[in-house]
Structure 1
Amino acid sequence: MSAVLKHSRPIWLLVAMCCIATLVFFLFDAALDIPFIDDYNALLDFIIQYLRADSIEEKLHFIFRQHNEHRIVYARLVVLLDYYVFGCTNLRHLILMGSASLFLMTGIFCVEAYKSCKNILAIVPIILLSLHFQHMGSLLWATSSLQNLAVIALACVAIWLMTRSNVFINCIGIVFAFLTTFASGTGPMIWPVLFLIAITSRSMAKCLVTLLSGTASVSLYFYSYHLPTSGNTSISENLVKMPQAILGVIGGTFDIQEEGTQLIPIIAGFMVISTFNFCLGRTGLRALRRDPGSLFLVGVFLFGLLSAIAISFGRGSYVENRYKVISTLCLLATYNMVLLQLSRRHMDLCLNLISMACLSLWLVFFWRYYPEMLEYKTVRKADYLSLKNSPQDLLTPFQQRMNALEELGVKSPDNPLIQNTFLSSMQRDNVSLPSLKILKRKHKYAVKWQGDPGLPEESYLVLRSEKGSFVFPVRKELNQFSASILYDWLQKGRYTVSVYLPDQTSFISIQDTIVVDKNVKPWLSSTWFNDAYAP
């Protein structure tokens, strides 16, 4: 039995490497240089206003400027790094740099796991629990990866450095804690954690430096801070929902439906917290002072818990995909704490069983999120084509930003191949869609058709008028293709309907028209930063 378990190590390591390679392959393949939602206001608007600023004071203002409830200084520093190194604001670069945060966090936990049990197999569950497809929504969104993933990774680095005994390393940890503070809305939660770590060290100087640095950082964070008023629920309602929201965030890894109020993540969150506390009780608080690794685990788990409390207070919800990384952080800390309780005698057997469970979870995530990941590129391409070709005024909010970047000498996010392919495609009148069905209602238009071996899977629904086009992604379920749109998404005009096939550079006409009798406001505001705060 022991021989079998011993020979399982290279197999599990190969499985882990394959999982990493799979994630990295799709990450590089799906990362596009196309802005998405907050990328405009948080990143593009920032670099435009920063370069337009005349004084250092103004430039610092835009770096520290509030974005919704967050201060995203770290994300903006990465944007500046990309600009000064490459002379552009390339969203693909930013996505990859932001995604590195998840790999950094994984690496730190792998090091701590191996140090605690001296068994290479211990790193396999960490890889399977962190580098999976559930995080694709954040990985492939520049603002989210530079904010939600980065704040966790920076916090891990800061806590790891502060648990060391070397004074110089502790000073570097303070610097990372400052970056953590200004990485996201949950960033200031790093300071209570570091202060508790300083107390356990019984060093008056360390406590004093941490207290002063934390006070200065948090004061700067909340200087001229504006409480967001756009939430759908009041603070009192959020307080009532706080317990279930906290547990839901901690157990969010197990919420694959991501809609409504699910009981499973709440139960999972309770079990994660209970397991961690049980292991902590067996380890003993006194042992934390002698073991930096255990102190690190307590610190990161506490940061995850405080982040969940902040989210429950501000949002009152736990279903958003971007919060999953907090659950991952707490799971990794709990797993590493469990490792400390395993006996050497049964270590290999336990690690094999845990690896099997984690691999099953990784495969469930692949099954659940792989279709969404495949749709990612088509959704982004459709948004991009609509922004480039929509029948609005000549200077749309999108083009306004692109022109501003060009005037400042910054290579703007763009993908000319996508646009050129769209413009050069020709109408095909001799081809029809099999089993085409059209559904027209007062405010909705939908089409469905059956798949055909002669037609490529990547396709888009295109509504054309004399002034331009709107483009929408087509979804595939089994062998059926469908697209559904609301008239509220369209500008006033008369549109002809067709299906765009980029692989065949052609349009297939549906022989139908849509008439929209009122204009709608463009979703991308022409106001810089698109919020209520003074520029």
Structure 2
Amino acid sequence: MRTSSAVETRSTRSADRSTPTKIIVIGLIGLLLICFYVAVVRFSVNVPIVDDFMYVFTLTRLLDPAATWQKIVLLIIEQHNDHRILLSRLAFLTTYAFEGHLNFQTLIIVASLSVAGMVWLIGRLFRRAQLSSWAILPVAFLLFQPSYHANVWWALSIWQHTVTLFLYILLFYLVLKATGRYQVSAWLLGAVLVFSNSNGIVAWFTVVLLLAVNRRWKQAGIWAVSGIILAVLYYNLGYDFRSQGSFQVIIQHPVWVFKSVVSFLGGAVYLNGWRWLGIPNLWLVLGTGVSVMVIVILAWWRMFFDRVRPSVPFQVFAALALVLCGTAGAASLTRSDGHFSVIDRYQVYSVLCVISAYALALLTVKGRWNQSLVVGMNVVGAWFCLVAWQLYPPILAEKRQQLISQTYSLEHYNKSVVDNLFLLDPYWQGLWKQAVTKGQYQFPNTELSGVEPVLRQKAGGYVATSFNVKDTVVNELSVDHDLAMVENKTLPTPDYMLLQSTAETHILPARTLTAEQPFRASGPPIGVKTTFYPQALTPGNYRIGWLNVDGDKPVAEWTKQFYVKGADDASKPFR
């Protein structure tokens, strides 16, 4: 016999799912979705950065007439750093098949649809759990915002992280369906994910746990045996693991490893270190991380020891949370030095940590506690989303500016002084030239297209501007390069900075370093500090200038100052 409380709860949920409520919630989510995808289209650029170059090189090698079928298969599944990236490689090849050339902006836009996919799939799970229609809104607030901005302008990052996270949710959802068709689909998807992301093996192990919890022993055995086979293939097909001494780190530094894991789990609220809600950011991040960790531990305790089997939505979020915790551990061991483990491209994981903890708590508490949690998360989520839209669009604008300036250098010199990691190697630079010559990659049309005549014009006179030039040597990965910071604290920020030698003219992003406090009454002051970072320049004297682009009328101006690149001239930065 149903209790009056149960009847009351059910009637309340029915009221929440009424048509007016649905319209309001769908309208708000639609508005958030539009803002998010306008930003994606606005700030993404068809230009490779960092690891994206490896996709160009892979395509060039795949299209080599001498490539055998065996070599083609190995190139598609070959190691990238310490992991595999099968899914993203297949996406790049699909783009090439449809467009006839690699288009990184298309890849970013298509991959960003996975964010909407996550909101839809989580909403489907919430509906299955008969939760209030308002319960899904905090998820939209947390996902349709730009705090994980690396996944807006970096093609590899969004495919490697955001897309695979969506597919993990889908994987667990399919696994818990009993029919054979869904099981085959889940197995194939899981196999692709094993070779597509470092978390793939963790997700496969999580599937075995899920099947064991549901006492589907035969299927658990099949997944366990096939998982061992896939793991053996993963680690034996041309895999060159570079050991990080992870277990030794845990033994020697257990406190800071724990701190890094907790900061990863709570990193969503980092928001560029901004002190929001009046709480010091350090304590806010650590507090959020501890809360997430406790909720995940309690959820899996319930999975194993509760006499009543948890609902399918609960199991899906518990499985996702376990994969996220595995990511936190791996990232802390390989990326952290004992401080915060908050990395731009991993922020989407931290956001999903908060969403998973929220969903698990929501599926556990009942009655007024459930309603209070929904209301509280809507308030916090809305505030979080608003702050993120205040903080990160300027960062995205600067990233776009950097990519556009990089496009100019790549097109004219087959290298970039902003992002030159791979093209410093003659072998990779040769593959890049080959890809451009054969049209496998085509440069986008930007505001810097056709700017060469303006740069060649003789200035009527030098502009008297005083710059402060600082030289240091920075070691980044295995590359040694000179880092020059050129700044002017009074100059209104131009669109681009210029360095011109007798042989080359480099167009560089001009960045405004301002306080990161949002909601400033008068907005950030213009030109507080204008900086750029030229790397890997050919030794010589470089005249400093700046470039403003107003529509189709670019204007270049040159100063009286020079930056001198070269060890012999380090003591004389100006001429």
Query: Which one of 259, 262, 276 corresponds to residue 244 of structure 1?
Result: 259
Amino acid at match of 1:222: Y
**Closer, same or farther in 2 for the Cα pair 1:301/1:375, shift >3 Å?**
same
SS in 2 for 1:425: helix
SS in 2 for 1:514: strand
**Closer, same or farther in 2 for the Cα pair 1:282/1:483, shift >3 Å?**
same
1:314-393 to 2 correspondence within 5 Å? Answer: 314-316=334-336, 318-344=341-367, 350-390=373-413
CA-to-partner distance for each residue in 1:272-328, whole Å, 9 max, x for gaps? Answer: 122344566678844663622221121111111122222223333622112222222
Query: Which one of 222, 241, 262 corresponds to residue 209 of structure 1?
Result: 222
**Closer, same or farther in 2 for the Cα pair 1:128/1:258, shift >3 Å?**
same
1:241-320 to 2 correspondence within 5 Å? Answer: 241-257=256-272, 262-278=282-298, 285-286=305-306, 289=309, 291-316=311-336, 318-320=341-343
SS in 1 for 2:451: helix
CA contact (8 A) 1:473 1:483 kept: no
Q: 1:484: which partner in 2?
A: 531
- CA–CA distance in 2 between the matches of 1:440 and 1:374? 25
1:135 aligns with 2:160: no
Q: 1:505: which partner in 2?
A: 554
Query: Which one of 55, 71, 85 corresponds to residue 58 of structure 1?
Result: 71
Q: 1:227: which partner in 2?
A: 241
Amino acid at match of 2:295: T
1:183 aligns with 2:183: no
**Closer, same or farther in 2 for the Cα pair 1:403/1:487, shift >3 Å?**
closer
Pairwise CA distance, 1:47: 1.0
CA contact (8 A) 2:500 2:543 kept: yes
Query: Which one of 57, 61, 68 corresponds to residue 45 of structure 1?
Result: 57
Greater shift in the superposed pair: 336-345 or 136-145: 336-345
- CA–CA distance in 1 between the matches of 2:361 and 2:461? 61
Give the TM-score of the pair, scaled to structure 1.
0.85
- CA–CA distance in 1 between the matches of 2:284 and 2:402? 30
**Closer, same or farther in 2 for the Cα pair 1:506/1:450, shift >3 Å?**
same
Pairwise CA distance, 1:377: 0.9
CA contact (8 A) 1:154 1:179 kept: no
**Closer, same or farther in 2 for the Cα pair 1:388/1:288, shift >3 Å?**
farther
Q: 1:438: which partner in 2?
A: 467
Amino acid at match of 1:512: Q
CA contact (8 A) 2:266 2:288 kept: yes
- CA–CA distance in 2 between the matches of 1:45 and 1:439? 39
Amino acid at match of 1:338: A
**Closer, same or farther in 2 for the Cα pair 1:212/1:275, shift >3 Å?**
closer
Pairwise CA distance, 1:341: 3.4
Pairwise CA distance, 1:389: 3.7
**Closer, same or farther in 2 for the Cα pair 1:235/1:367, shift >3 Å?**
farther
CA contact (8 A) 1:113 1:339 kept: no
Q: 1:529: which partner in 2?
A: none
SS in 1 for 2:449: helix
CA contact (8 A) 2:511 2:532 kept: no
CA-to-partner distance for each residue in 1:419-470, whole Å, 9 max, x for gaps? Answer: 533214355857987x943214556452426576xxxx66111111121112
CA contact (8 A) 1:275 1:334 kept: yes
CA contact (8 A) 1:389 1:468 kept: no
Pairwise CA distance, 1:518: 5.1
Pairwise CA distance, 1:252: 1.3
CA-to-partner distance for each residue in 1:384-407, whole Å, 9 max, x for gaps? Answer: 2233345989x9868634432255
**Closer, same or farther in 2 for the Cα pair 1:46/1:187, shift >3 Å?**
same
CA contact (8 A) 1:432 1:509 kept: yes
Identity of aligned residues (%): 18
**Closer, same or farther in 2 for the Cα pair 1:373/1:238, shift >3 Å?**
farther
- CA–CA distance in 1 between the matches of 2:560 and 2:44? 35
Query: Which one of 425, 432, 441 corresponds to residue 412 of structure 1?
Result: 441
- CA–CA distance in 2 between the matches of 1:270 and 1:413? 47
Which structure shows the higher helix fraction? 1
Query: Which one of 192, 200, 204 corresponds to residue 205 of structure 2?
Result: 192
Amino acid at match of 1:204: W
SS in 2 for 1:76: helix
Greater shift in the superposed pair: 4-13 or 164-173: 4-13
**Closer, same or farther in 2 for the Cα pair 1:190/1:405, shift >3 Å?**
same
1:68-147 to 2 correspondence within 5 Å? Answer: 68-147=81-160
Amino acid at match of 1:294: F
Amino acid at match of 1:161: L
- CA–CA distance in 2 between the matches of 1:173 and 1:5? 31
CA contact (8 A) 2:211 2:219 kept: yes
Pairwise CA distance, 1:258: 6.4
Greater shift in the superposed pair: 411-420 or 339-348: 339-348
- CA–CA distance in 1 between the matches of 2:124 and 2:206? 21
- CA–CA distance in 2 between the matches of 1:101 and 1:167? 26
Pairwise CA distance, 1:339: 2.0
1:494 aligns with 2:541: yes
> What is the RMSD of the two structures over their aligned residues, measured on CA atoms?
3.3
CA contact (8 A) 1:113 1:122 kept: yes
1:473 aligns with 2:509: yes
Greater shift in the superposed pair: 65-74 or 196-205: 196-205
Runs of 5+ consecutive residues of structure 1 not aligned to the other structure: 520-535
Greater shift in the superposed pair: 321-330 or 189-198: 321-330
Amino acid at match of 1:403: K
**Closer, same or farther in 2 for the Cα pair 1:439/1:272, shift >3 Å?**
same
Pairwise CA distance, 1:123: 1.2
Q: 1:17: which partner in 2?
A: 30
CA-to-partner distance for each residue in 1:190-224, whole Å, 9 max, x for gaps? Answer: 12100011112222321121112211221111114
CA-to-partner distance for each residue in 1:243-275, whole Å, 9 max, x for gaps? Answer: 22221211111222369x945423311111223
Amino acid at match of 1:255: Y
Q: 2:430: which partner in 1?
A: 400
CA contact (8 A) 1:487 1:516 kept: no
CA contact (8 A) 2:511 2:531 kept: no
CA contact (8 A) 1:475 1:481 kept: no
1:151 aligns with 2:203: no
**Closer, same or farther in 2 for the Cα pair 1:483/1:428, shift >3 Å?**
farther
- CA–CA distance in 1 between the matches of 2:313 and 2:82? 33
Give the TM-score of the pair, scaled to structure 2.
0.79
Q: 1:525: which partner in 2?
A: none
**Closer, same or farther in 2 for the Cα pair 1:85/1:289, shift >3 Å?**
farther
Amino acid at match of 2:63: L
